[in-house]
Every structure is written in structure tokens, then in C-alpha cells.
A = this chain, B = another copy of it.
Amino acid sequence: MDSREFRRRGKEMVDYIADYLDGIEGRPVYPDVEPGYLRPLIPATAPQEPETYEDIIKDIEKIIMPGAASPACTELETVMMDWLGKMLELPEAFLAGRAGEGGGVIQGSASEATLVALLAARTKVIRQLQAASPEFTQAAIMEKLVAYTSDQAHSSVERAGLIGGIKLKAVPSDGNFSMRASALQEALERDKAAGLIPFFVVATLGTTSCCSFDNLLEVGPICNQEGVWLHIDAAYAGSAFICPEFRYLLNGVEFADSFNFNPHKWLLVNFDCSAMWVKRRTDLTGAFNMDPVYLKHSHQDSGFITDYRHWQIPLGRRFRSLKMWFVFRMYGVKGLQAYIRKHVELSHEFESLVRQDPRFEICTEVILGLVCFRLKGSNELNETLLQRINSAKKIHLVPCRLRDKFVLRFAVCARTVESAHVQLAWEHISDLASSVLRAERE
């Protein structure tokens, strides 16, 4: 949608809202639909080609308004999460479908998804152990529980461990910053020998620092074998898996119990929208289910409906699946794939500019939209360069530390980025590098 259409459609939407409020007393106070009404009204998969805005907005009045906020908000979310799951070719077990045991939910952030998964895994293991040995107290079990993640994982994983009140251990990653079988197995064996109880592993696809990938095909089978919950955090990289050529990066997801990525990061859905799937929804609902009278409703026990309040930390929910519905239909799967591909191409364009300059080095393989690079030389030199880049305020880079190296990160992520921006950015970095290196020699 270009600026001209945005102005037109935006103003139509303002009128739509005003008309809605002006005429609200003519609408029923409670929807006149049965649970499950929405799925048959909507295709089973996202469209490949873009649809027109007109077609989408017509469906709002036709499909959403009769279902009001509830159950439309819940049911559209379930169907959109199925659409997105299919776009990623997630195993069937993660989809809700009409009678699936799994399904998806929109969380606010990957941090919340990790926490929810950890809490569900914690409840599950406590119940299992108490069923086997009723004399085991919750606290006695929690004292022995251990979760694992790579030393490259996002800080939110450690934070989830802190909140959940359980030990979290960092598994050393390999030379490519990837968690591998041997390191994980070693950690598990050592802890089991010490009487601890491994229960939860978070694997990362596309780490924050350098977009490295844990080895799911190695790590997954170990988790399954040990009866340990495997959660996958693909917050950034997940969007790329809608492209067949990047789908291999998700191989091994079939071993996972839960999987999460953020469409608000790289799939054109506005913040916030973090997509989380589980194989067994009862793992979540069993962990959090509380049913006071004022939250009861007549469909409670039908087994046919989804109560997302049991799937998340907050009670209240926003209608975030509308954003997904609009974006998936306005772009079509092909449009979204083209968007991802363009970003990856631009990051490779930047990579090749860096590689052509012998003063610089590329620090990790460029797989998606992130390029980790640095001046050959000391950390101080690179810190000076970064400081010069960011204080010039033409572009903005966020650094990372890889082992003992201070590294610059060039992230292609803006909606409107073009080759010209990449070229300009590189010229600018290159000029500042010259100036920094000149100053160093003097």
C-alpha cells in the first residue's frame, strides 16, 4: 500500500469507526454466533497472491462484526496462527485445525513465550514426579530442576529462569556459536549424576548477537529421549522460514514442544505480535487454569473452544490477529516471501562490500539480514569506529561481543530499505573507518 492509498484507506477507517460508534445502539450487545462459527467462513490457508483492500474490509463487516470481540477475537487468532503455521510448514501437530491438540497463540513478546513455555514445562514435570513419588514437595523438586540454553541465547531466557525460580545453565556453543549435541549431552549427564533434574531446553534459531542457529537435528532427539521440554526461540529468524529456501533452518522443529517467533520483527505486522505454538495445548491450560464464577461461560466445558487467557500471563487480550489477517492478505504469501528475500539480498550486498575492503573482516556466516563485521584490529579500534558511526547519526548500529571480540552489526530491517541505502551506509562506514585508522596512525 503506497502513501496515497494509505491516506485514502486510513480516512475511510476513521469514518468506519465513527459510524460504528454513532450507530452502536443499533447493534446487539452480545454476538449471535455459535463457537466455531468463524473458521468455515475463512480459507484454510493464507492467499498466495495479494488481495485488494476492498475485499478485506468487506470481510470485517461480514465475518468479524457478527462475532463482535468475542468469540471473533479468539477464533480469528486460532485460524491466523494456523495460516502462519502452514506458511512455515510447521508439523501438523502444532496446528489447531478443527480438532487438533496443538495450536498457536499471540503473545506480546518472545520473552513471554519463553516464560510461558518454561512455566508449563515446570508444572508438567512437577506433576509427573509427584504422581510417581507423592512425598516429593514442589519446592524439593524445584530445587533440583535445571533448564538449559546456549551461551548465545537472549537474556530473556535467563530472566525466565529467574522468574520461574529454577536454575538455568548456559551450554557452551561451538565455533559457529551453535549449541551442539555433545555440549548439551555433557551438561545433562553431569547434572543428572549430581542428582539434578533436567526439564527444559531453549534452542535459538537466529541468535540476537550474530544470527547463529542451534543444531536442532542434534539437540532435538536428545531432548525427546531425555523427556525434556524443547522450546525454540526463533524471534527474529522465524519470519524467513516462510521461504522454501530458508525452511531448512527450521528442520528439527518436529522434536520441539513449543516454538515461537515474532512476526512484529520481520513479517510486517506492527508491534506487538509474537507467535507461539505448542503441540499439546493442555500443557498450557493445565498450568494456569483458574475458573472463578465471573469468568465462567456457557461454552466452558464444550472442549470446542479456546480460552486464550489460560495460554498467557495477562488476563485481558487485544485483537492482534486482525493485524495478521490484513498483512497476510494485503501482501499474499508471495509478497511476504519477496520482502524477506529482498532483505537477505541486501545483507549479502553489504557483506560483499565489506569483503571487498581488506581493512575489514566478516565475523560470522551471513544467512539472513544480519551482517557481523569489524575492522581487523583491536576492540578499541572497533569501539571507536562504532562511536563515530553512531554519533554521526546518519545510520545506527548496535554492537555485540562474540567471544572476546567486539563486533559491529549491520541489520537490514526497515520496510522501505533499498540498495541505495546499503550503498550509502557502506560509504559512510568506510569513510569513518578511514578517518579512525588515520587518527590511529597519527
A287 contacts across to B, CB distance below 8 A:
162
Q: Say yes or no: B17 contacts A288, CB within 8 Å.
A: no
- The digit string for A368-401, where 1 denotes a CB below 8 A from any CB of B, is 0000000000000000000000100111101111
Q: Say yes or no: B155 contacts A295, CB within 8 Å.
A: yes
A24, A138, A143, A165: most-surrounded residue (chain B CB, <10 A): A165
- Stretch from A45-53, A56-64, A311-319 at the B interface: A311-319
A143, A162, A294: most-surrounded residue (chain B CB, <10 A): A294
Q: Say yes or no: B109 contacts A288, CB within 8 Å.
A: no
Shortest distance from the beta carbon of A351 to any chain B beta carbon, whole Å: 20
Q: In chain B, what residue has the closest Cβ to A163?
A: B119
A175 within 8 A of B: no
Give Cα A139 to B166, complex, Å.
Answer: 9
A3 within 8 A of B: yes
Identify whether the interface residues of A are mostly helix, strand, loop, or mixed. Answer: helix
Q: Say yes or no: B164 contacts A165, CB within 8 Å.
A: yes
The listed residue (B10, B29, B112) touching A314 by CB distance below 8 A is: B112
Can you offer 17 A-B residue contacts whose CB atoms are under 8 A? A3-B21, A10-B18, A32-B393, A109-B314, A109-B315, A119-B163, A138-B143, A140-B143, A155-B290, A155-B291, A155-B292, A156-B290, A156-B315, A163-B163, A208-B294, A209-B293, A294-B400
Besides A139-B139, A139-B143, 20 more A-B contacts (Cβ < 8 Å) are A6-B18, A7-B15, A10-B18, A28-B393, A29-B393, A108-B108, A110-B315, A119-B163, A137-B143, A138-B165, A155-B290, A155-B291, A158-B290, A159-B288, A162-B290, A209-B294, A293-B401, A294-B399, A294-B409, A313-B313
